[in-house]
Chain A
Amino acid sequence: MNKLKRNVELLQGNEACVKGAILSGVRFFAGYPITPSSEIAEGMARLLPQIGGKFVQMEDEIASIAAVIGASIAGFKSLTATSGPGFSLKQENLGFAIISEIPCVIVNAQRGGPSTGLPTKPSQGDMMQARWGTHGDHSIIALAPSTVNEVLTLTIKAVNFSEKYRTPVILLLDEVIAHMREKVEIPAPEEVEVINRKKPTVPPEEYFPFKPDQNGIPPMANFGEGYRYHITGLIHNQKGLPTSNPQEIDSFIRRINNKIQENVKDIIIYEKYFLDDAKIALIACGSVARAAERTVKLAREEGLKVGLLKLLTIWPFPSEEVNRLAQQVDLIIVPEMNLGQMVLEVERASRGNCEVVSYSRVDGELINPIEILGKIQEEIKK
Chain B
Amino acid sequence: MRLTQNSIAGLICLALSIGMLVLTRGLPQSSFVPVGPDFYPRIVLVIMAVLSVLLIVIDLRQQAQGTEAPAAATPEKRNYRLVGVTYAIFTGYVILLPLVGYRAATVLFVAALQAVFESPRGARRWAMVLVSALASSFVTYVVFNDYLSVLLPRGHWTGW
Do A and B pair up? The answer is no
